[in-house]
Amino acid sequence: MTVALYTHADMLDHRPGANHTERPERLTAVVDALSDASDLDLEPRDAPLVEPSDLARVHLPMYVQAIFEAAPRQGMLMLDEDTYMSPGSLNAARRAAGSVVQAVRDVAAGEQQRAFCAVRPPGHHAEPHRPMGFCIFSNIAVAARVAQSCGLKRIAVVDFDVHHGNGTQAAFAGHEDLFFASVQQWPMWPGTGHPDEAVPANIKNAVVPPGAPAEAWRKAFESLMPHVDAFAPDLILISAGFDAHAYDPVGDAFQNLEAPDFDWATRAIASVARKHSQGRIVSSLEGGYGLEALGRSAVAHVRALSAA
């Protein structure tokens, strides 16, 4: 199966600092690894700049305006203790959100069935009213609302980053036509996502303790799939974070996953998509900071998208 690959070189111009974990080389590692995988049938597509009106489907209009107006022309702007903007960051963030938005529009139009968005900055920590954790705009949540505007009414997001997608949860909470399922380490920043947390019925979280074997992570992930199945989505979006890999420096090897685990999880998601969503899946890159492990994991993920 052909997988559309949305990305753009502008996203390399988001430069949050020479020693920042979320560095441009992440995107290069993913795109190069995918290009080197000769068995993949990829259709490259440029990521457009997301429109403010689409961002406002999730973010407060005053927040969108503030980010646009604050974007620096030189130097660095600190948005929070982890999140910075350089002169290229606004366009990069607009391309990142624009990637996922365009992918869901193309899927809704029947132009393709599967897409992977190689993007940075990531998005699943950005809340409707604030940036957070390297994230400026909530790429996947914005895309979910755009998908609904295109006629795909029931949208599920599956998030398998080592950190909880608090921003997506905040955007989805209480909306019966949206569903968020997330597996993450506990305890772990940002301190949300434990199953005991009081959340609406359209949110399901699962956790894995530090140092757990891959089998424990798979069991936690698998516990989410019946809930996604019961929701019967018209489209599944994936927040694909690879920082639970055993050799990821941010995950600090607390989760012992390797590329085959991400392949397995992707195939499980695809099984639900075939049943309810006519196979439609759009995936977007979130975390993953060890370059070699990130590249291998992304290839395994996209390979599973193309095969399942």
Instruction: Give kind and range of the element (H or E) at residue 146.
Output: helix 139-149
Average pLDDT over residues 197-207: 98
Cβ–Cβ under 8 Å, residues 139 and 122:
yes
pLDDT at residue 252, as a whole number = 58
125 is catalytic: yes
pLDDT higher than 60, residue 307: yes
For residues 39-57, give the mean pLDDT: 97
Rounded Cα–Cα distance for residues 219 and 233 (Å): 22
Q: What is the 3-state secondary structure (H, E, C) of 157-223?
A: EEECCCCCCHHHHHHHCCCCCEEEEEEEECCCCCCCCCCCCCCCCCEEEEEECCCCCHHHHHHHHHH
- The alpha carbon of residue 203 and the mean position of all alpha carbons in its chain are separated, in whole angstroms, by 16
pLDDT at 70 over 60: yes
Structure tokens at 238: 């994936």
Q: CA-CA distance, 87 to 121, in Å (whole number)? A: 14
Mean pLDDT over all residues of the chain? 97
pTM listed for this prediction: 0.98
pLDDT range class, residue 192, cuts 50, 70, 90: very high
Angle at 289 between CA 279 and CA 294, to 5 degrees: 45
Q: Which residue bears the tokens 């809930």?
A: 227
Picking from 72, 56, 54, the residue whose alpha carbon sits closest to that of residue 64 is 56
- Give the DSSP per-residue string, 84-112: EE-TTHHHHHHHHHHHHHHHHHHHHTTS-
Q: Name 281's bridge partners.
A: 114, 236
- 44 forms beta bridges with 5
Predicted pLDDT of residue 250: 86
Phi, psi of 207 (to 5 degrees): -130, 155
pLDDT tens for 8-40 read: 999 999 999 999 999 999 999 999 999 999 999
Radius of gyration of the chain (CA): 17
Task: Report residue 3: phi and psi, to 5°.
Answer: -115, 125
Cβ contact 96:119 at 8 Å: yes
**Residue 76: alpha-carbon gap to chain centroid:** 25
**Residue 251 has what pLDDT?**
63
What integer is the mean pLDDT of 141-161?
Answer: 98
Euclidean distance between CA atoms 56 and 61, whole angstroms: 5
Percent share of the chain, pLDDT over 70: 99
Handedness of CA 66, 168, 98, 133 (dihedral sign): positive
pLDDT (tens digit, 9 = 90+) per residue, 117-144? 999 999 999 999 999 999 999 999 999 9
Cis geometry, peptide bond prior to residue 121 (ω within 30 degrees of 0): yes
Report the interhelical angle of 89-108 vs 61-70 (nearest 10°).
140
Per-residue pLDDT tens over the stretch 245-304? 999 998 655 789 999 999 999 999 999 999 999 999 999 999 999 999 999 999 999 999
Residue of 14, 124, 125, 276 marked active site: 125
What is the rounded CA–CA span in Å between residue 288 and residue 279? 26
